[in-house]
Amino acid sequence: MARVEKFLADQVARAPLSTALSDSTGVLWTFADLDAASDVLAAELQDAGVQANDRVLLLAENCAAAVAALHAAWKLGAVIIPFNARQTEGEVQKILNHATPAAVLMTSAVSGDAARHAERMEAREITGMFGTVHIATPGPSNPDDDLHDVAVLLYTTGTTGDPKGVMLTHSGMRFGGQASAALRSMTHDDVIYGALPMSHVFGLVSVITAACFAGTHVRLEARFSAQKLFEAAHDGVTIIPAVPQMHALVMQYTKEKGLDRLGSPSLRYVSSGGAPLDPAWKRKAEAFYELPLQNGFGMTETTSGASATVNAIGSPDTSVGPVTPGTEAMIDETVPGGGEGQGEVLIRGPHVMKGYYRNPEETAKAVDADGWLHTGDLGKIDSEGRLHILGRSKELIIHGGFNVYPPEVEAALNDHPQVIQSAVIGRMKDGDEEVLAFVQVAEGDIPDAEELRAFVKERLAGYKRPSQIIVGTSLPAAPTGKILKHRLLDAFADQIRD
């Protein structure tokens, strides 16, 4: 079985002095440097007792040392668990209890949060060409043979209950990385912007793994900032993969600078993932970047991308494109909200997860006997074979007996010139679900809620219109920039009418 770390070995053999990555601390590594740094870190892990099929928890924010840690674990045959260092002590403890890692690595020199975890765990400091990190050994080596083909455990951040560890195999990671690189035609001449956290599948596979396969320089950022993205786009970056919220924030930042275009001299490819696109917002983004905005669909359980567009600028296509080569998709119309060609999106292919670690019950619910992953997303496939995502099945709002898809309402709100981004949820009230909308605007540029209500009235049927529109200058978000909808009610409790 070909393993993920072979991508690095191939680059060292092919172009050892080509730039592999740089980060916000000033590190600039070639592929030979990355290989050497991961060798040293692998020796440290081995000295700490890590063996093949052990788990290594990586508490990190994007940096060179974190990428070295991935390869160090793989070189030992261990399974890496990338986890954002900004998670709380309680959230980290859940992972420790469930995964029982033999070692914990913390990128303490880059992340104050990682340093705090290191202090709490009484971790020891180690230094090398990878910089300074901390290592703790919360338990003895305890190899699990069920993980012999697993490269990564990624824990999903569910809204309730304990997180689930998604087992991503070496072959699935390789498939996902190659597919992402091929879609973007990535080469040694490219510089890909790496602000998407590598603790999430988009950043880990579509950026880090894809770049290692293609020999592309990754410019890593520990935390997303609209200003840093703007500056990077004017300093050699050629590829920007992002979620819609990141695009919205850099567009707002540029607007505040008095500019209506990004004006990057080097940028050649921009993509958006994580949410459907509406035509008006897509046109606005393409005018801003002066490039086509490619869209795609994927999730942790599909090792990132399952479909993607390859459109020209100005294309009216707002789908997430046809499935990637080697992937299958079908629609299950029997779910709530299904029928007439639409329903739950099912995906099958070599990149579908092995399952949820130590959770066969949830695995059986997610992946059926024929290998189809039940994604929980509602969608349809058009006559040209393109997949359209309508929204999460769990987020479907049934108001007055009618189906309301939040992305459609969000698209109407986002078309307003003062709205940066929005989020729509349903709430049970008097035996029915009401539609609640939350919009983010800029300080000093706050529209009246009634103005927004009048704006969407022209764009939405009556049953789709929000009963309340709550306006704020920020919305609760994950490190990726994705809006955390399950936190909206608590975050704006004082503004929501009963």
Per-residue pLDDT of the chain (498 residues; tens, 9 = 90+): 799 999 999 999 999 999 999 999 999 999 999 999 999 999 999 999 999 999 999 999 999 999 999 999 999 999 999 999 988 898 899 999 999 999 999 999 999 999 999 999 999 999 999 999 999 999 999 999 999 999 999 998 543 456 899 999 999 999 999 999 999 999 999 999 999 999 999 999 999 999 999 999 999 999 999 999 999 999 999 999 998 878 988 999 999 999 999 999 999 999 988 666 777 788 999 999 999 999 999 999 999 889 999 999 999 998 999 999 999 999 999 988 788 899 999 999 999 999 999 999 999 999 999 999 999 999 999 999 999 988 877 788 878 767 788 888 998 899 899 999 999 999 988 777 899 999 999 988 889 888 999 999 988 888 899 999 999 999 998 877 778 898 999 999 999 988
CATH for 224-393?
A: 3.40.50.12780
d(CA 431, CA 483): 27
Q: Are 427 and 385 in contact (CB under 8 A)?
A: no
Options 1.10.600.10, 3.60.20.10, 3.40.50.980, 2.40.50.100; CATH of 6-170: 3.40.50.980
Half-sphere exposure of 186 (CA within 13 A, CB side): 30
Q: Are 202 and 69 in contact (CB under 8 A)?
A: no
> Tokens at residue 177, please?
């990385």
Phi/psi for 205 (5° steps) reads -95, -50
**Strands 468-472 and 432-440, bridge-based pairing:** parallel
**CA quadruple 456, 343, 165, 196: dihedral sign:** negative
Element housing 245 (H / E)? helix 244-256
Beta strands in 276-354, from DSSP E residues, in sequence order: 293-299, 304-308, 328-332, 342-348
CATH topology identical between 6-170 and 224-393: yes
Quick one: 474 exposed, middle or buried, by C-beta within 10 A (0-12, 13-18, 19+)?
Answer: exposed
- What Rg, from alpha-carbon coordinates, does the chain have? 22
CATH for 396-495?
A: 3.30.300.30
pTM of structure: 0.86
Question: Cα 450 from chain centroid?
Answer: 34
Q: Domain residue spans in the chain?
A: 6-170, 224-393, 396-495
